[in-house]
Structure 1
């Protein structure tokens, strides 16, 4: 199986008989030109995993591809899709996908938790956990390892890597390390009443 990383959480998996794209989100680029896809899989509804602007065009350009979503993402996108749940077993050409997990990792107790699907491809040849720490029962050969997120710190990523213990770990979900705006937004939304979050422009003097 061959893997292409389009940045952040988006990866393309290719075998001799199938092409599967996972998590075409807002922080990823280059997936828009992919054609002859057999399936597009989305782990959960957050836009860095399912770009609401580019996903419809991607599906239109790949009319034979099956779109696999959780219920929440399907309701949000409004696209025709197959609803997947943990425990489902899917087939695309010569590739199998076991759906695992169920819940997004906790960002903050005040932020509602959404559904999250993990995808174990080809009996463990590759595992995409989405935004979760779910450890599948299958032995994992290659793990898409979440690297940076509002719900993740380095020690947790290391512990998760050790828990899954793959032969190869491929860092994914890294774009937020170069895009602090997601964290700024969380600070602003969760700050106590009366507290302003003000991002300073580097190398410019500010009156506070």
Structure 2
């Protein structure tokens, strides 16, 4: 009798978990495919600042957050990029539920200090300006910070990393949490950009638009656009960018498929 009860409880728990994963997968934004010289780059929005990139047989998790159900059905990570110490970027509970035990973790020093011990053997630390060539790709750490610079800013210069990845000849920029800093505006030859816009943590829609117009990526995804007052107006971002430059492909995707 006891065994039957335990079996029933286990099956019920499994069913609930499976239903949650199915719901998360069904509500997830559709993946995009972008051609590169060495096969397609797949862009899978997850939530907020989390995205999964697949290219060359490798899977890259960026700031995995929001629970493992959001990653259901995706290949295990070969590389995990983490931009900052805040819990919507460094999320130990989500990491614990994902198959990342053997993944290379590329992180800034502040994140390395806070990672759980079981990941320490797989960490490669990059500081702003440093570059790593690995697994057929390159990863360059880019500054991300608030303006004006101040010791008590939510994001101080040097603590976190944005990243530029080179994947099959395509340069992919991940802004992390930043404002429209000079280092962003000075970027060159960016093919795909993921740009944040959520006050008061990063920048407003107009700042993000003006930064994008300065560095002119081929494709830009507004992401990380939930702030204290709800979701930023990404449609206004697209309108502002394309009014000044119709050649920038602004791709609006649903990064908040379920309430977090």
> Counterpart in 2 of 1:125?
171
CA contact (8 A) 2:189 2:217 kept: yes
Judging changes above 3 Å, is the alpha-carbon distance between structure 1 residues 118 and 44 closer, same or farther for their aligned structure 2 residues? Answer: same
Which stretches in structure 2 are left out of the alignment for 5+ residues?
1-40, 232-260
Distance in 1 separating the partners of 2:69 and 2:171: 24
The secondary structure found in structure 2 opposite 1:125 is strand
> Counterpart in 2 of 1:193?
none
**Match runs of 1:1-208 below 5 Å:** 1-26=41-66, 30-31=70-71, 34-58=74-98, 61-78=99-116, 79-80=119-120, 81-101=123-143, 103-106=144-147, 110-111=152-153, 113-114=155-156, 115-122=159-166, 124-132=170-178, 133=180, 134-135=183-184, 137-150=187-200, 151-176=202-227, 179=230
Which stretches in structure 1 are left out of the alignment for 5+ residues?
181-208
Distance in 2 separating the partners of 1:57 and 1:137: 35
RMSD: 2.7
Judging changes above 3 Å, is the alpha-carbon distance between structure 1 residues 117 and 108 closer, same or farther for their aligned structure 2 residues? Answer: closer
Instruction: Count matched residues.
Output: 177
Normalised to the residue count of structure 2, the TM-score between the two structures is: 0.59
Normalised to the residue count of structure 1, the TM-score between the two structures is: 0.73
Moved more, 75-84 or 105-114: 105-114
1:104 deviation in Å?
A: 2.1
The secondary structure found in structure 2 opposite 1:50 is coil
1:32 deviation in Å?
A: 5.9
Bigger Rg, which one: 2
CA-to-aligned-CA distance 1:121-154 (integer Å, 9 cap, x gap): 1165310010123325431011102132313112
Judging changes above 3 Å, is the alpha-carbon distance between structure 1 residues 147 and 28 closer, same or farther for their aligned structure 2 residues? Answer: farther
User: When you count helix as a share of all residues, which structure comes out higher?
Assistant: 2
